[in-house]
Amino acid sequence: MTPTIGAVLVTIFQLVIAFGLINVWLVRFKKSTKYRGGTAQNMKEEFAGYGLPVWSVYIVGGLKVIIAGVLLLNVFAVGTINSVVTAALVLLTILMLGAISMHLKVKDSFIKFVPALLILGMTIASLYLINLS
């Protein structure tokens, strides 16, 4: 059976989201990027700039890495488990709304919002497409 365009889009979104989260939280955790909030040079400084405690970096990061794992497992190993993927995407939606609110809090320029907005868009689109089927 040929997959639908929606199913292909969901797979692409899951891969982009998962590899993006892994890149941010494992590869670039200690590195400066133009997307860091405020004047932060790494993830810990970014969270500190938002006024968040150090432990929140590890909670948010752990959740995002777990979400990335769920999405990758869904694509490569398990197949479609809509309830687990839906739960992961709902949690990620909440986390992305939190990220956007932090960028607003410190009055970041729009470019710093772009990754969170893109992930939020792909997450919402995925939730919509998954729940159509």
The pLDDT assigned to 4 comes to 86
Give CA angle at 25 (15, 58), nearest 5°.
130
The pLDDT assigned to 133 comes to 62
Q: How many residues does the chain have?
A: 133
The pLDDT assigned to 79 comes to 66
67-80: average pLDDT: 87
The pLDDT assigned to 52 comes to 97
10-28: average pLDDT: 96
Pure H helices in 32-109: 43-49, 54-73, 82-105
C-beta of residue 85 within 8 angstroms of C-beta of residue 70: yes
67-74: average pLDDT: 94
Give the closest residue to 87 by CA, choosing from 68, 69, 73, 67.
67
Cα–Cα distance measured from residue 110 to residue 59, given in angstroms and rounded to the nearest whole number: 26
pTM: 0.92
Mean confidence (pLDDT) of the chain:
93
